[in-house]
Every structure is written in C-alpha cells, then in structure tokens.
Amino acid sequence: MLLDSIATPASPSGEPAGTEQEQLVIATYLIETAFSLEAAAEVIAGEQSCGTFVDVPGETAELKARHGAKVMDIQPLETVDHPSLEGATVPRSAKGKARFQRGTVRIAFPLRNFGPSIPNLLTTVAGNLFEVQQLSGVRLIDLDLPAPFAERYAGPAFGIEGTRRLAGVHGRPLIGTIIKPSVGLTVDQARPLVRELAMAGLDFAKDDELNGNAPYAPLKDRVRGVMDEINRAADKTGKKMMYAFNITGDIDEMRRGHDLVRDSGGTCVMVAINSVGFAGLSYLRQHAELPIHGHRAMYGALARCSMLGIGFTAYQKICRLAGVDHLHVGGLDSKFYQSNAEVRQSILDCLEPLFSGYRVMPAISSAQWAGSAIETYAQTKTIDVLHLAGGGIIAHPGGVAGGVRSMQQGWEAAMAGKGLLEYAASRQELRSAIQKFAPRQSTK
Amino acid sequence: MLLDSIATPASPSGEPAGTEQEQLVIATYLIETAFSLEAAAEVIAGEQSCGTFVDVPGETAELKARHGAKVMDIQPLETVDHPSLEGATVPRSAKGKARFQRGTVRIAFPLRNFGPSIPNLLTTVAGNLFEVQQLSGVRLIDLDLPAPFAERYAGPAFGIEGTRRLAGVHGRPLIGTIIKPSVGLTVDQARPLVRELAMAGLDFAKDDELNGNAPYAPLKDRVRGVMDEINRAADKTGKKMMYAFNITGDIDEMRRGHDLVRDSGGTCVMVAINSVGFAGLSYLRQHAELPIHGHRAMYGALARCSMLGIGFTAYQKICRLAGVDHLHVGGLDSKFYQSNAEVRQSILDCLEPLFSGYRVMPAISSAQWAGSAIETYAQTKTIDVLHLAGGGIIAHPGGVAGGVRSMQQGWEAAMAGKGLLEYAASRQELRSAIQKFAPRQSTK
C-alpha cells in the first residue's frame, strides 16, 4: 500500500523536530469492527493522542487541533459474521445480529506529540490500540515516517552493498548456512564443520538464534575458535567466509560481544531483534562497526493472527530504521506458517528503498535447500538475497562441501533460467539434494 | 497453573549456571493442532532445541539427551472444527475433515542451552515456535525459571513495600492519576494540575504512556516544573506525591532520564516495557535508584488472540525478573477488551511471590473511577494495588480535589464493606462521581 505525499512533506531535511511545520507519522491499519469504520478509526485516533474515556478540562479545541491524530482515509473491505478477536463490543442496536466490517484506515499522528523516537513511536502507533473494545480486529500494516527519524537513526550501516563488499560476493546471492545442530555443539565440535564450510567456498554462516552465549559454548570461546578456522581457510582459499555471531544478550553484554567479534576480525554480528527490543537494537547500531544480522524470532506472536498485531511491511521499516543490515523473511515452502505470497512480499519489502534509499538484505531461511533457489528467483527476480540453508547444506548426502556446491548449482540454474531437473542432469550435488530434500506435497 | 518441583531443583542457590546439575526452564503452552498433542509438542521441543527439518550429522543421541527439550506433561482440552490460526497443516489422512485438538503442554528446556539470560530465554521459549505449521494455536501461558535467573537479575528494587515507604502510604491502596489530556499539555499548562493534585493529597501521579520526551514538553523541563510543584505542595502538606515520569526512549536517553529524575528529587520513573524491550528494561533496572513503573502498551498485540502469543501469567514473570516495581494490569469494566476475570487474575498474578518472595504492585488503569474500588476489592481482596483514575479524577465535577476525595471515599467504602450508594449518601464527592462516571450497561 503506497502512501501519498503528505507523509513526507518537502521540508529541508535538516530541519529539527518540533518546529511549527506539521510533520506527520502516517500509520495504516487493517481493522474490523461492529461499529462504523469511521467511528472505530476515531477511537484509535483519540485513544492514541489526546483523548480518554471522558472529556477532561484542558482538552481544548486548540489542543485537539494541534495534537489530535487525524483519520486521513478509510477503505472498506469485506464484512464477516464473527468477530476475529475476543472482547469486542457491538452497538446495542445490533446485539445478536452484528456484522463485522473490515477495512483499512490511515491515521496521521503529529510528530510533535512524540518526536523522532522509535520507542515512543511504538507506544503511539502500536500501543494500547490493540486493546480497544470497539475493534474486533486491529493490525498495523504500514508506516510512513517523516525525515526527522532518518536524522536521528542512521539505518543500516552496511546494507546490501556493504555486506557484498565484506563478503566479496557480487552478481549473485550470498549463500549461507546455520550451524546445526542448533544447540549443543561445543566449540571444538563446531570447528571441523566451520572449517569444511569455509574450505568449500561458502559465503556466509551463522549461529542459530537459539545459540547465544550459552555456558557450554561461551561467545568468547566460539569467536576465537570459529575465527581461527575462518582465517586459516581464508589463508588457503583467499576467501573469508562471513560469520554472524549471535551476540543476543543484555545491553552491555551485547556491546561487549560486538567488540569481541570486531577485535577478532569477524565481519558480522547477529541479534534476535524481539529478544533485545528495538531500543537494544538501535543502541547496538549506534556502536556497531559490523553488519547486524537481524533475526525475527518471536515475530510470529505479533503477526500470525491476521487481524492482530504488526504486519511485516511496517515491522521491517522499524527494523531497518533501528539499524539491521540483514533481516529474516522466512522462506518459500518453509517449515513455518506463512504462505509463499507473504514470503515473496516480505522479500520485496526489504528491497524497497527507505529514506536516503537504503535497503536491507532479506535473509531467506527455514527448510531451504538447493531447489529453493529456482522458485525464489522466479518469484522475486532478485539476486540481492542471503539464502540460508541449514540442514539443506549440513545434511547433504555429499557432505557440507556437496551441500554448498548444490546451493551454488541451484542458483546457477535459477539465474540461467534452467529447470531444476535439467540442470541437475549433469551435476551430482544437485541431484543428491533433489533426492534428499525435495519436499513432499504440501498439505497446508 | 502450579508447576511441580522439577522446575526448582533443590540445589544450593549459589551454584553457578552451567554445572552438570540439570537445571530446567519449564514453559507451559496452550496449543491447538490437527495432529496429536504429543506430536505437536515434540515439534516445539525439537524446533526450540536441537532439531531442524531433517536429521543432521552431529545430532547424536548424547547431544539430544543433554540438550534436547523434553515434553513433561500433556493435558487435553476441547476440540474445535476450525483452526484458530492461519497457515496450519493437517495430516494428509484428515484432509477435509480435520478436527483441532486443544491442550496444555509443559516443555522442559535445559538451562545449559542458553544460560540465565532474559533475551536468550525469550528466543527459546517464545521464538520461532509461534510460526510452526503443525500448530493452529500456540500461546506461552506460564514459565517456571530456576534460581540462576534470580542470581543474574535482581527483580524489583522497591516492589510494594518500597513503593509504600517512598509514597508514605500504608494500610490502603495507593490512589493515583494520569495527567490528562494525555498529550499536548505544555509544562506550564500541566503545573496547575500537578499542584492541585498534590495539594489534594493524592498519592501518585504519572505521565501518560504517550507522553515521553516530546518536543513541546521535553522531559528535562517537565521534571523541573513538576518537581517544583510537588516539592512546594509537600512543604505545605507534609506529603510528597510520587510521580512516575515517562522516561521511555533510547537506551542512553532512558538512563539520562532516570538520573535527571533522581537528581531532581523525584521518586519514580516509568517505561513502556514493550517499547524499550526487556533488555532495555533490565538495563534500566541495573542502574535504577528509583521504582520503575512498567506500562504494558502493545501487550494486546501479543495477547489479544487467545490462541497466540504470551499470556499474562508468563509475561508478568519476565517483567518482574527484568525489574519493574509496578505493572499495568488493565482494570475492571475498562475501555479495553479484557474480561473482568482476566483482570482479576492479572492482579493476583502480580501478587504471587517470585524467587526470594518478591511481588510487584499491580497498576489498575483504564476507565477507572471511585466506584471501581468496590468491585476491585471484592474480586481481589487486596489493598496492595495502585489504583489509577485519569479522567475519573481529572474530569470529576468537583474538580481534581473532588476527584481525589471521591477515589479515597470509594476505597473507604470498599474496605469497610459498605455499598457504593449507601456510602455516597453522606459524601458529595462520591455522589458526583457516581452521577458522572457510573458506566452504562456493558455491551461486551
């Protein structure tokens, strides 16, 4: 959903926040209500700006005009017989025979109410409104932010171009893996695997999101052991594999983790965004000298109920603003709930320029293997992705070198416009991958 | 739901994490699935520990035994005809006639997999599992955490007793308000209101969650102006009103905000927990010398779909561990979606001792007024609450002094076991409150 020009007024970009010029945050919601869409939208606008459940002294016309959120646009969608969420009220007149109208509404919040602050933006556009009784569905689906946000938050420091430069990969996707088993490998057990991956010419590897700073493989030991393997392989092959160390943790711990990776010659850090929070993420970005690989674990809790929460188009904008360079988007035919259409849209969202034009590298993951390349490329027509296959590389019948080669062959086929079977005919690694990983018919 | 003794093994509490002794985090989930509850629970256990979509080399029996999550208990509930969430798969045999079984499952995660880290705990017990295809409903409803968490995170520094001490209120609830209008009052406009509230003998006031560090009323000016009014009133009345300044913001900004409030003689700071994230909250707690008033804005996005997200019993434990002293719980007959039974349970959850026995003060809010006291006390039988009425005090027909008095009278009636109308007969402020605020019949 494209938002019109009101969201980005043609103001000099250096203008400080809080001047008299009206600068707006425009939030787009998918809502459902037994009341009129107009009335429901006004409840959100009131609840999230000056209003409360009764009029109060001091809530003057001037104050409302200056600080009230305004409903900009309403687009009706279908009606349904049953409320999507619990605890919704219905008009007394409709009791027992209420229908629930869906629609999208755009609401403009004056930036002066909260200033260009990600945490306070969240409280405003994604705060108490999810609890409003008059709504039986409410989901933030898009956000349009004015220039002062870009002045306060720098966005990704590396993005796609910076990642390509550090990884030395151009003209094709980055191919990567996740160290598996996700949990339980000691550093000494992980070293041979890292060695094989790096020697096989893999572009990127990462810790699993579950593998933070665990007692059995503390980050400091992992960084030492993994970087030792990567550097030794680089000495032989001339290619230094990028490795995203999972530094998810408390604020100071995360910063120390970043510095440790940097000082050890590492080229990427990873955080579970929702586990550290957006304030934690932007704090890391402020100090980061390495690309930040953003994992979205827990995002399903915010997104899987389609009439509640925060849609990915809005979510990824906040992630980018807060500073991630790579962002997980799921994967086609994955082990997770999303449809392929949603995954496709998520990839495209990440590639849509924001503010100064920055993009973020979509990290495609979950049940991916060599054959996933064909459909991923067909659906998105982009090579600006980081394609992660965990089991799809590590469990390959030809070993991890075979797994890496099969992924490369999958992308060669995709980019050459060849069919998977056709391309596999003369390529053993791809054939083995098909035999082992080609999915059974989907039952979703 | 009480968890059995396996969650808190009788180990010396000083024992460091990561020793050979098995320490477990036990997570309880409400799930729904078209498969067997056993199979679905195993998918969560696998996904959130060692497993991936295929077996991988290195996933040895020893590794699984040491690091695999284990399903402890399964309690079947009802079955339903339609999946609660989208994107769920069904067994091929059941295609077209699947039923969806609900149940609660308890899963034990070895602490050694992630150590006593709140962010890494979240990734494990509330990470990718919300996305699992085999589930058509999944909600984290309780958590039982072993002692090392209490060793690493101190929990609330003040809690109920510390708050009572600072506010000088004993033997009854704290009565409070939210400065309204929520948004738009300049510091000069807010000052007379703060003055009246403090002079009326109110225990507690707070910024609205929407009112962070906005350009029109920057925190530093607000702290100066508000504390000036509070201190001047205290000089006259002998009672210093506690004021929760909303310091929600970026990490460094939040810490500076805390120090500013402390240095200005303030006695409380407030954050929107989900806007700063749990890592941000525990960072603040680490440095905090004042009680932390925790607002749960955005919690509805995690909780309102009853078959998804994170239930309050689990949520409030993490909030407490991370260090809040007060936690919002909604209110009876509020403007929000929750039922009174849920609000009641939330209040009781906050009062359940955790670790060394600490509790957190439930902050009751949303469409509250003097009459809310009676039912709140009847339902919970506790006076250890912070009862917040925004409009219910500020829009009182007798002015804010009348509003404050009416709330005091409401609690006097509640604690004396009097009926509202009976007690109001001889009390003008309570009568005015009834006339203005008594709710119309609920249509929920």
- Per-residue pLDDT of A196-248, as tens digits, reads 999 999 999 999 999 999 999 999 999 999 999 999 999 999 999 999 999 99
Among partner residues B89, B122, B395, which is closest to A56 by beta-carbon distance?
Answer: B395
- Per residue in B344-355, pLDDT tens? 999 999 999 999
Question: Which CA distances in Å does A308 have to A78, A85, A243, B277?
Answer: 16, 8, 35, 20
Segment A307-335 mean pLDDT: 97
Q: Quick one: A114 exposed, middle or buried, by C-beta within 10 A (0-12, 13-18, 19+)? A: buried
pLDDT level of residue B94 (50, 70, 90 thresholds): confident
What is the helix (H) or strand (E) element at residue A187, kind and residue range? helix A187-199
pLDDT level of residue A7 (50, 70, 90 thresholds): very low
ipTM of the complex: 0.93
Per domain, the residue ranges of chain A are 6-152, 159-437
Contact in structure between A23 and A95 (CB atoms under 8 Å): no
pLDDT level of residue B21 (50, 70, 90 thresholds): low
Q: Is the pLDDT of residue A320 over 90?
A: yes
- Per residue in A371-421, pLDDT tens? 999 999 999 999 999 999 999 999 999 999 999 999 999 999 999 999 999
- Please state, in angstroms and rounded to a whole number, the distance separating the CA atoms of residues B292 and B423: 35
Among partner residues A114, A181, A298, which is closest to B122 by beta-carbon distance?
Answer: A298
Contact in structure between A104 and A75 (CB atoms under 8 Å): yes
Q: In the numeric block, which tokens belong to residue A219? A: 């980050």
Contact in structure between B123 and B35 (CB atoms under 8 Å): no
Q: What is the pLDDT of residue A3?
A: 32
Q: Chain A: nearest CA to B380, how far in angstroms?
A: 21
pLDDT level of residue B442 (50, 70, 90 thresholds): very low
Q: Do A215 and B18 touch (CB under 8 A)?
A: yes
Coil/strand/helix, residue A120 = helix
pLDDT level of residue A42 (50, 70, 90 thresholds): very high
Q: Does B118 touch chain A (CB under 8 A)?
A: yes
Q: Do B337 and A133 touch (CB under 8 A)?
A: yes
Q: What is the pLDDT of residue A125?
A: 98
Q: Is the pLDDT of residue A46 over 70?
A: yes
Segment A128-148 mean pLDDT: 97
Q: Do B124 and A210 touch (CB under 8 A)?
A: yes
* DSSP state, residue A356: T
- Per residue in B275-287, pLDDT tens? 999 999 999 999 9
What is the helix (H) or strand (E) element at residue B62, kind and residue range? helix B61-67
Segment B119-145 mean pLDDT: 97
Among the residue ranges A10-14, A335-339, B76-80, the one predicted with the least confidence is A10-14
Segment A10-20 mean pLDDT: 41
Q: What is the pLDDT of residue B444?
A: 41
- Please state, in angstroms and rounded to a whole number, the distance separating the CA atoms of residues B200 and B400: 8
Among partner residues A275, A300, A306, which is closest to B123 by beta-carbon distance?
Answer: A275
Segment A13-24 mean pLDDT: 58
Q: Do A183 and B50 touch (CB under 8 A)?
A: yes
Q: In the numeric block, which tokens belong to residue B436? A: 């203005």
Residue of higher predicted confidence among A264 and B1:
A264
Question: Which CA distances in Å does B61 have to A186, A191, B37, B50, B161?
Answer: 15, 20, 24, 11, 50
- Please state, in angstroms and rounded to a whole number, the distance separating the CA atoms of residues A401 and A407: 10
Q: Is the pLDDT of residue A14 over 60?
A: no
Q: Is the pLDDT of residue A18 over 90?
A: no
CA-nearest of B367, B368, B361 to B407 is B368
The residues facing A27 across adjacent strands are A107, A143
* Amino acid symbol at B321: L
Q: Do A209 and B55 touch (CB under 8 A)?
A: no
Q: Does A184 touch chain B (CB under 8 A)?
A: yes
- Per residue in B282-310, pLDDT tens? 999 999 999 999 999 999 999 999 999 99
Q: What is the pLDDT of residue A307?
A: 98
- Please state, in angstroms and rounded to a whole number, the distance separating the CA atoms of residues A439 and A436: 9
| A181: alpha, beta or left? (left if phi > 0; alpha if psi -120 to 50) | beta
- Please state, in angstroms and rounded to a whole number, the distance separating the CA atoms of residues A102 and A37: 8
- Which residue pairs from B53-56 have beta carbons closer than 8 angstroms and sit at least 24 positions apart in sequence? B53/A335, B53/A366, B53/A367, B53/A391, B54/A391, B54/A392, B54/A395, B54/A436, B54/A437, B55/A391, B55/A395, B56/A180, B56/A181, B56/A390, B56/A391, B56/A394, B56/A395
Mutation target to probe the B interface, by most B beta carbons within 10 A, among A43, A122, A206, A298 is: A298
Q: What is the pLDDT of residue A12?
A: 38
Q: Are strands A326-330 and A361-364 parallel, antiparallel or unpaired?
A: parallel
pLDDT level of residue B14 (50, 70, 90 thresholds): very low
- Please state, in angstroms and rounded to a whole number, the distance separating the CA atoms of residues B226 and B111: 45
Q: Do B86 and A56 touch (CB under 8 A)?
A: no
Q: Does A250 touch chain B (CB under 8 A)?
A: yes
For tokens 């006004």, the residue is: A42
Among partner residues B50, B130, B337, which is closest to A182 by beta-carbon distance?
Answer: B50
What number of helices (H) and strands (E) belong to chain A? 17, 13
Q: Does B81 touch chain A (CB under 8 A)?
A: no
Instruction: Answer whether the bond into residue B146 is a cis peptide, omega within 30°.
Output: no
Max Cα separation, chain B?
A: 79
Same fold, B6-152 and B159-437: no
Q: Do B59 and A117 touch (CB under 8 A)?
A: no
Q: What is the pLDDT of residue B9?
A: 36
pTM of the model as a whole: 0.94
Highest mean pLDDT pick, A15-24, A56-65, A273-282: A273-282
Contact in structure between B218 and B190 (CB atoms under 8 Å): no
The torsion angle over the Cα atoms of residues A256, A260, A261 and A265, rounded to 10 degrees, is 150
Segment B363-381 mean pLDDT: 96
- Please state, in angstroms and rounded to a whole number, the distance separating the CA atoms of residues B136 and B134: 7
Q: Is the pLDDT of residue A368 over 70?
A: yes
Q: Is the pLDDT of residue A11 over 90?
A: no
Q: Is the pLDDT of residue B3 over 80?
A: no
Neighbours of A274 (CB within 10 A): 29
- Please state, in angstroms and rounded to a whole number, the distance separating the CA atoms of residues B152 and A111: 39
- Please state, in angstroms and rounded to a whole number, the distance separating the CA atoms of residues B303 and B319: 15
Give the CATH number of domain B6-152; options: 3.40.50.300, 3.40.50.720, 3.40.50.2000, 3.30.70.150: 3.30.70.150
CA-nearest of B55, B47, B42 to B113 is B47
Q: Are strands A24-33 and A137-144 parallel, antiparallel or unpaired?
A: antiparallel
Q: Is the pLDDT of residue A89 over 90?
A: yes
Q: Do A298 and B130 touch (CB under 8 A)?
A: yes
Mutation target to probe the A interface, by most A beta carbons within 10 A, among B337, B434, B440 is: B337
Q: Does A436 touch chain B (CB under 8 A)?
A: yes
Q: Does B340 touch chain A (CB under 8 A)?
A: no
- Per residue in A329-355, pLDDT tens? 999 999 899 999 999 999 999 999 999
Those of residues 224-243 in A touching chain B at CB distance below 8 A are none
Q: In the numeric block, which tokens belong to residue A375? A: 């459909």
What topology does CATH give the domain A159-437? TIM Barrel (3.20.20)
Residue B345, φ and ψ in degrees, nearest 5: -65, -35
- Please state, in angstroms and rounded to a whole number, the distance separating the CA atoms of residues B293 and B270: 4
Q: Which residues of A touch B306 (CB under 8 A)?
A: 86
- Please state, in angstroms and rounded to a whole number, the distance separating the CA atoms of residues B248 and B426: 43
The residues facing A246 across adjacent strands are A270
Q: What is the pLDDT of residue B20?
A: 54
* DSSP state, residue A336: B
pLDDT level of residue B58 (50, 70, 90 thresholds): confident
Pairs across A and B, CB distance < 8 A: 393
Helix axes B399-416, B187-199, angle to 10 degrees: 40
pLDDT level of residue A20 (50, 70, 90 thresholds): low
Q: Chain B: nearest CA to A165, how far in angstroms?
A: 30
Among partner residues A117, A300, A366, which is closest to B130 by beta-carbon distance?
Answer: A300
Residue-by-residue DSSP string for A20-52: SS--EEEEEEEEEESS-HHHHHHHHHHHTTT--
Contact in structure between B232 and A135 (CB atoms under 8 Å): no
Q: Which residues of A touch B250 (CB under 8 A)?
A: 117-119, 279, 282-283
Q: Does B265 touch chain A (CB under 8 A)?
A: no
- Please state, in angstroms and rounded to a whole number, the distance separating the CA atoms of residues A218 and A188: 12
- Please state, in angstroms and rounded to a whole number, the distance separating the CA atoms of residues B369 and B404: 10
Helix axes B312-322, B340-351, angle to 10 degrees: 30
* Amino acid symbol at B349: D
Q: What is the pLDDT of residue A441?
A: 43
Q: In the numeric block, which tokens belong to residue B369? A: 């007024």
Among partner residues B189, B216, B306, which is closest to A18 by beta-carbon distance?
Answer: B216
Contact in structure between A292 and A324 (CB atoms under 8 Å): yes
Q: In the numeric block, which tokens belong to residue B422? A: 């009976």
Segment A110-128 mean pLDDT: 97
Q: Which residues of B touch A89 (CB under 8 A)?
A: 442-444
Segment B100-125 mean pLDDT: 98
Mutation target to probe the A interface, by most A beta carbons within 10 A, among B21, B62, B130, B406 is: B130
Q: What is the pLDDT of residue B2?
A: 32
Contact in structure between B390 and B178 (CB atoms under 8 Å): yes
CA-nearest of A183, A173, A179 to A195 is A179
Mean pLDDT taken over chain B = 93
Q: Does A49 touch chain B (CB under 8 A)?
A: yes
The residues facing A31 across adjacent strands are A103, A138
Q: What is the share, in percent, of chain A residues with pLDDT greater than 90?
A: 89
Q: What is the share, in percent, of chain B residues with pLDDT greater than 70?
A: 94
Mutation target to probe the B interface, by most B beta carbons within 10 A, among A251, A252, A444 is: A251
Helix axes B312-322, B118-125, angle to 10 degrees: 160
